Amino acid sequence: MTVPPRTALAALALSAAAAAPAAAQTNVSFMMDWAWQGPQAFALMARNEGCFAEGGVNITLDRGFGSGRVPVELASGTYQMGLADLNPTIRFRAENPDSDIIATAILFAGSPLVAVVRADSGIETPEDLEGKTLAAPDFDAGRQLFPVFGSAVGFDYGSVNWVSVSPELREPMLVRGEADGITGFVTSSVPSLIALGMSADDLRVFYYTDYGAELVSTAVLTTRAFAEANPEAVATVTRCMIRGVQLAEADPDAAIAALVAHEPLTDPVVELERWQITIDDMLRTDLAVAEGISTVDMDYLQRSIASVEDAYGLPNTLQAAEIFDASFLPPAEDRMFLSE
């Protein structure tokens, strides 16, 4: 399905952003979804290339603490824009009908949400998670969307016991056997567990989408109020995030070099693996390759919304067009992969 044509407002925003003088900078505080790792490096590439500044935006990029926290921070006004798995925002919108948070791009359509257990744990299927103890941060998207996974499989997800941990303690708890499993992004958890001495054969990974959960993933978010007040800035940030993804996909080594320059303690081997998993499992979907990054199947998105609402016992009221606004996207020809 092709993206709806841009509105006159968005067309004006894009042209104005491209021509904005350096003196007319709009300040944008931007919250990432997680710590600075391989899958976040694309934002640094866009900044380093000068994309934001050339478009009239003085952007501040801050690390995140889980996708579930981003809509909360946007709603409070602490940040103007952010990056997050879209599904916690769908839940936030459904639970807070007056909220005006929108996605202006869905960068990674494939979902990375997983539950991970030790292969020797005796947990062979998702149903075996009933009554077990799982560790994750409160705002972890895998934890917040666990009911969608449980509903798709049909097991008693409410019987799971949760241990709230800080992000850096999640994987060590599984390694030490202090939890039966963890939830998170496959790009975060699996490479981290391997870096802690486990092997792929030591792990059993349950991808939510392998069990019928229809979920999209990482999106650029803002509020409708901020977008209407600052259309040029929102169009610029949206365009530049896509540009960063294009650059990082075309040259993964350069993306990790940008990451290491920003976070000197980064392990480049681990982070390159994270980014390559992101490319293979989340970014290069058939639709994105054929029609450009952030080409969205609105029917699939609507089913994803309904699955989140159903899992939390919420009425099916939120419409895909209310949460995804394609009008700030650059043209499709500017969203194609550079490596093609």
Task: Establish if 1 belongs to a structural domain.
Answer: no
For the stretch 190-203, pLDDT in tens is 999 999 999 999 99
Task: Report the number of distinct structural domains present in the chain.
Answer: 2
Q: What pLDDT score does 339 carry?
A: 84
- Domain residues for the domain of 74 are 8-110+216-334
Task: Establish if 131 belongs to a structural domain.
Answer: yes
Burial 209-234 (b: 16+ CB within 10 A, else e): bebebbbbbbbbbbbeebbeebbbbb
Confidence of residue 3 (pLDDT cuts 50, 70, 90): very low
Tokens of 262: 């920003």
Residue with tokens 């926290």: 69
Question: With the C-alpha atoms ordered 161, 198, 257, 260, is the resulting torsion angle positive or negative?
Answer: positive
Confidence of residue 110 (pLDDT cuts 50, 70, 90): very high
Burial 150-171 (b: 16+ CB within 10 A, else e): bbbbebebeebeeeebebeebb
Whole-number Cα distances in Å, 209 to 53, 114, 183: 38, 9, 14
For the stretch 111-150, pLDDT in tens is 999 999 999 999 999 999 999 999 999 989 899 999 999 9
For the stretch 55-104, pLDDT in tens is 999 999 999 999 999 999 999 999 999 999 999 999 999 999 999 999 99
Task: Establish if 2 belongs to a structural domain.
Answer: no
User: 3-state class of 84 per DSSP?
Assistant: strand
Does 156 lie in the same domain as 141? yes
Mean per-residue pLDDT for 154-166? 96
Task: Establish if 200 belongs to a structural domain.
Answer: yes
Does 60 lie in the same domain as 131? no
Residue 6 has pLDDT above 50, yes or no: no
pTM of the model: 0.85
Does 105 lie in the same domain as 21? yes
Task: Establish if 311 belongs to a structural domain.
Answer: yes
Task: Establish if 231 belongs to a structural domain.
Answer: yes
- CATH classification of the domain holding 140: 3.40.190.10
